[in-house]
């Protein structure tokens, strides 16, 4: 027994296929006219750019080799392309060479900085010596030591200690001011060695808690480092000592070189011999 269906009867199969084909044809129809050779032109420009870049790299490879970031990126890309199961000895060697180059650059900068510092120190000593040779009177000579000479050397105090049998109460000593102080024989050796049984060095650089009052006077509490130059004042004379004091505890340290101060002390010795004669 056939059951009757409500509504319209289904269209024939051919009609459905024809309608579907027409619909698909409309959907695939171009909405706008595409310019000819558009894709080809774009690819040609890209190829030209790549070729230009390639020729530039080939002609000037140092542009890549001198750029550390580019070289690092290229090496990293090469390692990634090889995979994790391959050990790149060349990459390891490059890392070591790069680390060594960094150390060499640091050393180079340190050497240049030290050279500039030595040059500046040499200029200071030369200027101080020229100023020290200007005075025509001994009193002016001593006054300049704690004045312009100290300013040139960038120290806070300069004192001259002479061993003698005289006392500071002597009028001839008192009028020379605070720069000069006299001491009993043996004081210089004891001061330089702190009383130990060791030979005194020509130049002694050290850090101290405070300066000696008998040398620096009122400035003694502020002195944190000093340079002591032992003076040979000639045959038949007791030794002397030139002391430079600084408030900066790092201005004079035992690790510093003493060549410039030795030269300054040698010139000062000769100047003192001339004044004492």
Average of pLDDT values for 191-208? Answer: 90
pLDDT value, residue 127: 95
**Is 38 inside any structural domain?**
no
The b/e string for 99-108 (b: 16+ C-beta within 10 A; e otherwise) is: eeeeeeeeee
**Is 232 inside any structural domain?**
yes
* Conformational region of residue 65, where left means phi above 0, alpha means psi within -120 to 50, and beta covers everything else: alpha
Burial class for 226, CB neighbours closer than 10 Å (0-12, 13-18, 19+) = buried
**Is 15 inside any structural domain?**
no
Higher per-residue pLDDT: 37 or 93: 93
Q: What is the CATH number of the domain that holds 134?
A: 3.30.450.40
pLDDT in tens, 82-132: 666 666 667 677 778 888 888 999 899 988 988 888 888 899 999 999 999
Percent residues over pLDDT 90 in the chain? 36
pTM above 0.85, yes or no: no
pLDDT value, residue 44: 54
- Strand 225-231 and strand 240-246: the pairing is antiparallel
The secondary structure of residue 67, as a DSSP letter, is -
Cα separation of 52 and 64, whole Å? 15
**Is 150 inside any structural domain?**
yes
Higher per-residue pLDDT: 23 or 180: 180
pLDDT in tens, 264-277: 999 999 999 998 88
Q: How confident is the model at residue 222 (pLDDT cuts 50, 70, 90)?
A: very high
Cα separation of 106 and 108, whole Å? 5
- Give the total number of structural domains in the chain: 1
pLDDT in tens, 129-166: 999 999 999 889 989 998 999 999 999 999 999 998 76
pLDDT at residue 34 is higher than 90: no
pLDDT value, residue 174: 56
pLDDT value, residue 70: 81
**Is 36 inside any structural domain?**
no
Alpha carbon distances (Å) from 68 to 106, 109, 193, 215: 17, 19, 54, 58
**Is 136 inside any structural domain?**
yes
**Domain extent at residue 250:** 114-276
Alpha carbon distances (Å) from 201 to 71, 212, 227: 54, 19, 11
**Is 82 inside any structural domain?**
no
**Is 88 inside any structural domain?**
no
């Amino acid at each position: 027994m056939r059951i009757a269906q409500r509504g319209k009867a289904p269209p024939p199969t051919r009609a459905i296929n024809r309608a579907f084909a027409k619909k698909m044809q409309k959907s695939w129809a171009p909405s706008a006219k595409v310019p000819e050779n558009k894709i080809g032109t774009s690819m040609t420009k890209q190829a030209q750019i790549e070729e230009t870049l390639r020729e530039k790299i080939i002609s000037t490879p140092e542009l890549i080799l001198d750029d550390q970031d580019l070289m690092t990126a290229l090496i990293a890309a090469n390692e990634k392309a090889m995979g994790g199961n391959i050990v790149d000895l060349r990459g390891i060697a490059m890392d070591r060479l790069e680390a060594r180059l960094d150390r060499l650059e640091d050393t180079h900068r340190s050497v240049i900085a030290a050279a500039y510092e030595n040059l500046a120190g040499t200029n200071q000593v030369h200027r101080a010596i020229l100023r020290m040779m200007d005075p025509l009177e001994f009193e002016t000579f001593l006054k300049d030591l704690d004045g312009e000479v100290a300013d040139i050397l960038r120290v806070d105090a300069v004192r001259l200690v002479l061993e003698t049998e005289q006392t500071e109460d002597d009028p001839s000593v008192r009028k020379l001011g605070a720069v000069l102080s006299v001491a009993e024989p043996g004081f210089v050796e004891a001061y330089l060695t702190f009383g130990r049984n060791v030979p005194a060095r020509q130049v002694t650089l050290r850090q101290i808690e405070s300066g000696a009052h008998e040398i620096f006077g009122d400035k003694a509490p502020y002195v944190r480092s000093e340079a002591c130059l032992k003076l040979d004042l000639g045959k038949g004379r007791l030794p002397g000592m030139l002391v430079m004091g600084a408030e900066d505890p790092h201005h004079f340290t035992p690790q510093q070189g003493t060549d410039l101060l030795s030269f300054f002390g040698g010139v000062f010795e000769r100047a003192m011999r001339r004044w004492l004669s």
